């Protein structure tokens, strides 16, 4: 049986997402624990900074989707 976590990671992979930016709370920690090797997690210390980092990364990498 596929878990919700596995299904979510499969959806992210299907959309070509390899980098996750975030400022996790306690609810997100189980999702991020032992993140598969094909994903990179970038920690930000404030939600506003995380949005800016993710937007800048998307624009600079050319992988921005609307």
**Which residues on adjacent β-strands are paired with residue 43?**
22
Question: Whole-prediction pTM value?
Answer: 0.81
pLDDT (0 to 100) of residue 61: 87
Rg of the chain in Å (alpha carbons): 13
Q: Which of 64, 63, 9, 18 is nearest to 41 (CA)?
A: 18
Binned at pLDDT 50, 70 and 90, residue 64 comes out as low
50-63: b (≥16 Cβ within 10 Å) or e: beebbeeeeeeeee
pLDDT > 90? residue 49: yes
Strands 40-43 and 19-22: parallel
CA–CA distance, 46 with 63 (Å, rounded to integer): 23
Mean pLDDT of 31-35: 93
Q: Which residue has the higher pLDDT, 65 or 2?
A: 2
């Amino acid at each position: 049986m596929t878990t919700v976590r596995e299904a979510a990671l499969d959806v992210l992979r299907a959309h070509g997402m390899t980098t996750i930016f975030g400022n996790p709370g306690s609810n997100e920690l189980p999702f991020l624990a032992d993140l598969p090797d094909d994903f990179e997690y970038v920690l930000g210390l404030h939600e506003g900074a995380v949005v800016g980092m993710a937007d800048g990364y998307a624009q600079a990498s050319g992988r921005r989707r609307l």
